[in-house]
Structure 1
Amino acid sequence: MPGQSGKRGLTRRQVVGAGGAVALGLAAPWRYAAAAKVAPMTIVINQSPWFDSFRKTVELYEKETGNQVELDVNPFAGSLEKQRNSVRAANGQYDLLIMNSGWVAEMYFGGFVEPIAAIDPSFKLDPDVYTLDNTVYFDADKKTMAASGKLMSVPISPLIPLLYYRGDLYKDAGLKAPETFAELEANAKKLHKPPSRYGIVQRGARGPATVSYDFYPYLYGFGGGIFKNQAAGDYTVTLNNEAGRTALDYYLRIAKEAGHPQTASLEQAEVIQNMLTGKAAHIMVVVSAWSQMDDPDKSAVVDKVEFAVTPHADGFSTGPGLGHWLGGIARNVPDDRKRSALEFLRWFQTKEAQLAYTKVGGIPVSAASYRDPIAQERRYRWMKPLGEALPHAVNIYQFPEASEVISILELGLNQAVAGNTTSVQALNSMAEQIFGVMSKHGYNTGKLPALP
């Protein structure tokens, strides 16, 4: 997952209001919707590859509206800790919480986020804004993220993985972009020339959400899943069904036959570095790494990397896992600051603001941006596949104890990639442990018979 390092406690005076919007030439071409004059407010956010684009967009908001915003910027874990402390205090320090998909459920279930209609009943989510598997909603009665619930947040950064592949190598070999896993495997094997180049480089290391996050597109793309139907409150564990076994067998096989020899120890940064140095023909990582590919200071493959929707098996659709960020308004802050936070979200979701966000390196949350002519420009060649993939993105976890399940997956998948256990043993063990977690917390759960 991106955004796990950075400086702590940057304020508005340090990072906002420096005239960056004017210097970038963003203000002149746009006519933004009028925004109300509101009180100053504070946003707590993580330092990440996409933060700078968000900062520049906040600068533009300040210039266009005259409203003041303070950014409190922290490492990934530090941002979560500050949010937890603030929302549990009698009076919150932070007005707008930039929440990762990994802790959105905790904030919703805990009642820490104010439903938007409680601040302004007239507010409507722009119909072009992706709801990201309905994670912007929460149905408190059913304890699920579903469109039947209340609008709780507005998307900030819609991060999912894409397939990155070497277009120049494809052209030389007469290949076409893979749509299915069978095509990806064939292409990876054809371009596998170790040790100078690997057909595909995958993440296999154990971490907070490391190998599990990279395995999700395979699991869901083969028609599998961890649970039967979270949206309906059915947490029967289905990880160790035939689709799960097919997905894990594929992940292990392609790593062994067309992958890096140290897959089990690779972190995300190392996967990306293999592509940047020309040692990988394919990687499947979060879209926010796109800008590094054409950065001449970082990349040896400038203008050679193409992007595609993550593949799927025949008969199924792509299933990239969400690793996104949502903006929710804290319940325990004064009403005027709630209105200030909502005014920013109202402005942020507009087509004009989203296009400006894109131009400074952001990943837009509005489908209107992906229909805009900008998406046809060479620099933004990632936009078309991302726009195609976002409607299929999967919210992997809809319950606040997700970290317990993730830790089980991290260990089990890492052991399988390292060859310390078979795919069947790993799947059966992980499924049994996940069933135990869900039972312990009182969810409606069950389990399948162990794979033979």
Structure 2
Amino acid sequence: MAGVAATGCAPSTSGDGSGKDEKSGTLRVWLFREVGNKPKERVVDAVVKDFEKQHEGVEVDVQYIPIDSRAEKIKGALNDPESAPDLIEYGNTDTAGYVADGGLADVTGEIGKWKAAGDMDPAAKESVTVDGKVYGAPLFVGVRALYYRTDVFDDLGLKAPKTLDEVVSTAKKIRAERPSLYGLAVGGAYTYGAMPFIWANGGELATEKGDGAYSAAIDSADAKKGIKAYTGLFGADNCPAGKCAQMGGNESVEAFTAGKAGMVIGGDFNRQAMEDGKVKGDYAVVPLPGTDEGEIAPAFAGGNNVGVLRSSDHRSLAVDLMKELAGKETQRRLFDAMGFLPTFTDTRAQAAEDEPFVKPFVRTLDAGAKFVPVSPAWGEIDAGLVLPTMFQEVASGRKSVDEAAEGAAKKMDEAFAK
């Protein structure tokens, strides 16, 4: 869901688009191919069938592209309008990069007139917004919360932690009583697991200076509190740096599902992995708490969007189909079929009523999820592993928090300045 933006010279689509708005013909759509894609295909096929019935002379051609190679494929489409689709699905961290490359159409006016947009989650809407203009519609949102082993907690007489400090102390109690387990599985390369510690302590990744420009804030006093809190979990008393410093999000979750950890920060999208793992029937989920009791730590709002390409010869049709694919009814169907969390607050609330498992994730979103800087530079920062390197430098003892944060801020500012 969090991807690397297309980079390189501005493609030919960076002008005013094709200038055409044909009302018939073939509408080409690229969507991501998921693991176990058939349920998604059935939902999309139903939307397409209804759309074609309502638009005489229109045929919709849907292709499912691999997520791992999407950056190259979409970059190629941006540089070759003749082969480009009309509508694409894209990771929400890709928005600013695709806009900078001139690939996505500005649909601010159409979204402004869309009644459903009033119920859109603020963080999801931010993920399609660059410099105050809207370049797509959020399709689904993903967020992380705290999974914990109910059997381990019961055996040790533990309760779900209510503050971040309690998360740390609980993790260390588990490790002390069960040396074969990580208390809380953490990863030096698990950026999205670390971000809540920074945000909960009042820190930010970067601050917007205006006109879409950003400056790094990862070296602020509050951000460094969060870095210190997260990297303090790498040690013999929780998750040894020698094993955990190199772990990413998948490895952290896999450690939990394999029965090797008492807790982990995992996503709503990790549920099937839990059910397929050794922890089935022995886990529960609560929102990751903040620094004070009653608070929820801000989580990264991941997810995917759908947007119209500027090169499209069928702009109006593409916008209409975008709204159908990202509309409330389709999002509800995708939740039922794939477990994708809706981006509309009312649709999401109903989903939580029907499926109690997602309630902690919905509470986390409703408490105020956060997003990465909406800047084309974020793709470079992400691909350059700037934040994981910082966490790993501290966890391994190579650098102090101050030194590592200062180095990360310098790299971020270099990327923002380009």
Q: TM-score, normalised by structure 2?
A: 0.82
Write the mapping of 1:7-22 to structure 2, written as runs, cut at 5 A: none
Amino acid at match of 1:214: G
Cα distance in structure 2, aligned partners of 1:240 and 1:120? 37
Tell me which amino acid in the other structure corresponds to 2:376.
P
Residue type matched to 2:265 in 1?
A: M
Q: Give the corresponding residue for 2:171.
A: 188
Give the TM-score normalised by the residue count of structure 1: 0.76
SS at match of 2:363: helix
- Please, which of 331, 334, 343 is the counterpart of residue 313 of structure 2? 334
Structure 1 residue identity aligned to 2:409: A
Alpha-carbon separation, structure 2, partners of 1:66 and 1:195: 60
> Which residue in the other structure is 1:402 paired with?
378
Instruction: Write the distance in 2 (CA, Å) between the matches of 1:83 and 1:437.
Output: 22
Match of 2:73 among 82, 94, 115: 82
Q: Distance in 1 between matches of 2:373 and 2:224?
A: 20
* Structure 2 partner of 1:21: none
1:204 and 2:188 are equivalent in the alignment: yes
What corresponds to 1:208 in structure 2?
A: none
Could you tell me which of 321, 326, 340 is aligned with 2:300? 321
Q: Is the 8 A contact 1:224 1:238 kept in 2?
A: yes
- Structure 1 64/292 Cα, relative in aligned 2: closer, same or farther at 3 Å? farther
Give, in angstroms, the shift of residue 120 of structure 1.
Answer: 8.3
Shift of 1:317: 5.1
Q: CA offsets, 1:348-378, max 9 Å, x none? A: 3444333221111231222223322x5245x
How is 1:151-162 mapped onto 2 (pairs within 5 angstroms)? 151-162=134-145
User: Counterpart in 2 of 1:253?
Assistant: 232
Call closer, same or farther: CA 1:331–1:2 in 2, change over 3 Å.
closer
Give the match for residue 345 of structure 1. 322
Larger % of helix: which? 2
Structure 1 ranges of 4+ moved more than 4 A: 1-4, 37-40, 49-53, 63-69, 117-122, 230-234
Answer 1 or 2: which has greater strand percent. Answer: 2
* Shift, 1:63, TM fit: 4.6
- 253, 268, 284: which is aligned to 1:272? 253
Q: Percent same amino acid at aligned positions?
A: 20
Two-structure CA RMSD over aligned residues (Å): 3.0
C-alpha contact (below 8 Å) 1:126/1:349 kept by paired residues: no
* Counterpart for residue 62 of structure 1: 48
Match status 1:98 vs 2:89:
yes
Separation in 2, partners of 1:339, 1:162: 39
Q: Structure 2 stretches of 5 or more lacking a match? A: 5-22, 54-58
Structure 2 counterpart of 1:401, one-letter code: A
CA, structure 1 residues 413+69, in 2 after alignment: closer, same or farther (shift >3 Å)?
farther
SS at match of 2:245: helix
| Conserved 8 A contact 1:2-1:49 | no
Distance 1:96 1:182, change over 3 A: same
SS in 2 for 1:343: helix
- Deviation digits for residues 250-275 of structure 1 (CA, Å, limit 9, x no counterpart): 11222312225511122333222211
Which residue number in structure 2 is paired with residue 385 of structure 1?
360
Q: Give the count of matched residue pairs.
A: 387
Look up the equivalent residue of 1:86 and give its one-letter code: A
Alignment-derived partner of residue 352 in structure 2? 375
CA distance in 2, matches of 1:60, 1:233: 39
8 Å Cα contact 2:138-2:304 kept in structure 1: yes
